[in-house]
Structure 1
């Protein structure tokens, strides 16, 4: 989640028809219909739709204070590799300068922009999926992890690890609340006990939930690799299924949908019951990291100068942050 002050500044360039003046400036490096560019959403990135000859594309951008150019370029290299391994992904589009990422200084700071094909298909709702859907979903994640395991060393993917993230929080430990500090210490000590080898640890998607999975007649496509990091592969399973288990609060290993997902995964990859039993702690880790991210993101207070939607968002995110804290 980006800082709310950045979101406020960028949305000051968006009109009532969702046309974004800043996005229009950033999109000039790609051929498109100049009078058609629509803001879609903002969370970890700003995402807009652009159009060329009736075909829609996804324009994604963010401030260099949020994502480095090196990180985005490594993501593009990862996508190119996955495409070569026959993994269904959203294809990045070259700019008029034959670059996948373009950078531009603006009055709101420097932004890095890239464009992807917009995939046709559907996002499935977890409550409407049958056991075969879960099997296909799990198999797709298993295939993705196999591709990660086979990734050549020369494909530099500049990403942090879960341990890196936890160690970064050590600098903040003296300012942590007692409950927050105890949770940090528990998670830090737990991570150090986990075995790490090529079969159980590597790059993970980190957000393989249904919002980032598109189903069409060609198969299951995966989008949004920008949050990928290094961790244990079981963490990807846990985070993918968090909606199934009420964000990890109600883990039921005998749930038929869970068993179908794991069966699909095991059709193409290996995961042990011992590893799956670590899922509750990975949910705890996810909640702690989400809490810290929200601490950073909520850099605005509710006030009359804000738009109504921004004040509503501040309240919503503050409630979510507090719910994580209560769980420590």
Structure 2
């Protein structure tokens, strides 16, 4: 098992593009045809079916669908200022290394020029583009997962961690790590209250302690149902855009956080089934309850910091309805996160490792 150290000097976490960049793309999408000029510019760099390109979603990147011989493919566009070329190159190396392994991960497709990554400018911004093959299956509803599905879910994450841990450092180098995220969180949260800044300091100290016990390794970082496609019992994994180097237990907590929204007995049993599945397949021991609590707190701080960089429209700039709605949604989330962060810090329930 090989642990990895990051030498990345690129960007850190990116839950969502800055709203200013989202607006440039979204405001030019035709809501009748779901076509957009940025998709029409990049798609011709790959062989694809004429007329098949249309907008899919905007989050930390822009996604367009482009069919190839009638089969759905996904064109992903990352802003170069938000995702460096070395980061994307490392992601592609990781995906290629997973090809033919015990896990199924969506693979990149060569462009007409034979490149897996194409870089070009659109409206003054530089983008890195990758075309991914479509994978079979559906996204299950995580609110109605059976214990058997949760067991299988955990097993798949355990298998993925096993494959990732075996990769040489040369494959992984270029991806960010928790310390890079921490540096960016400090920059973004410096205007928050003393209680929030104190919670970040405490979480950073605890993360250092955990990394002495559980050395950091490459993880997916977003192993939720939105990034898994199920076909019977077969699972395909998509969206390695956020993969980074963290204590492996962080991947567990970020995967099951949706289950924690419910306090029912079923949710507790689902979580236990996930942990049982992971333990059966992973080379890593299960994290303690204290470690999982730390990763929960870290993720709240991570999202709160992200909200500061994402909501970047000038206060005096007119908004269209979707922009106002999104800003309100993120303002409400930020307030919820602040409350949870402060309450968690006050309870001091993950101080001993």
Measure, in 2, the Cα distance between the counterparts of 1:317 and 1:171: 19
Moved over 4 A (4+): 171-174, 249-254, 270-274, 301-304
Q: Describe the shift of the 1:173–1:265 C-alpha distance in structure 2 as closer, same or farther (beyond 3 A).
A: closer
Q: Summarize the Cα distance change of 1:252–1:150 in structure 2 as closer, same or farther, 3 Å threshold.
A: farther
Structure 1 residues 46 and 195: alpha-carbon distance in aligned structure 2, compared to 1, 3 A threshold: closer
After TM superposition, the score normalised by the length of structure 2 is 0.86
1:19 maps to which of 35, 54, 65: 35
Tell me if the contact between 2:275 and 2:286 (Cα under 8 Å) persists in the aligned partners. no
Cα deviation digits, residues 225-256 of structure 1 (max 9, x gap):
1111111111111110000002xx96989921
Give the 3-state SS of the residue equivalent to 1:300 in structure 2. Answer: coil
Equivalence for 2:194? 178
CA–CA separation in structure 1 for the residues paired with 2:152 and 2:60:
27
The correspondence of residues 252-271 of structure 1 with structure 2, limited to 5 A, is 255-270=268-283
Counterpart mapping for 1:5-154 below 5 A: 5-16=20-31, 17-154=33-170
Distance change >3 Å, CA 302–CA 84, structure 1 → 2 = same
Structure 2 runs not aligned, ≥5 long: 1-15, 343-353
2:350 aligned partner: none
For residues 165 and 265 of structure 2, what CA distance do their matches in structure 1 show? 28
Q: In the TM superposition, what whole-angstrom CA distance separates every residue of 1:25-52 from its partner, at most 9, and x where no partner exists?
A: 0112101134231111101110110123
Unaligned runs of 5+ in 1: none
Show the counterpart of 2:257. 242
Shift of 1:103: 0.4
Give the number of the structure with larger relative contact order, counting CA–CA contacts within 8 Å between residues 6 or more apart.
2
1:165 is aligned to 181
Counterparts of 1:214-225 in structure 2, within 5 Å, are 214-217=229-232, 219-225=234-240
Q: Is the CA contact 1:91–1:117 (under 8 Å) kept in the aligned structure 2?
A: yes
Deviations 1:152-183, CA, capped at 9 Å, x for gaps: 22213312211221134445665342122111
Aligned equivalents of 1:149 and 1:251: distance in 2?
34
**Using a 3 Å threshold, how does the CA distance of structure 1 residues 252 and 288 change in structure 2: closer, same or farther?**
farther
Q: Is the 8 A contact 1:57 1:117 kept in 2?
A: yes
Contact 2:106 2:133 in 1 (8 A): yes
In structure 2, C-alpha distance between the alignment counterparts of 1:170 and 1:303, rounded to whole Å? 27
Of residues 322, 328, 331 in structure 2, which corresponds to 1:315?
A: 328
Partner of 2:226: 211
Q: Aligned pair count? A: 325
Residue matched to 2:318: 305
Show the counterpart of 2:346.
none
How far residue 271 of structure 1 moved from its aligned partner, in angstroms, is 5.0
User: C-alpha distance in 2, partners of 1:254/1:43?
Assistant: 28
**Contact 1:9–1:108 (Cα < 8 Å) also in 2:** no
**Secondary structure of 1:194's match?**
helix
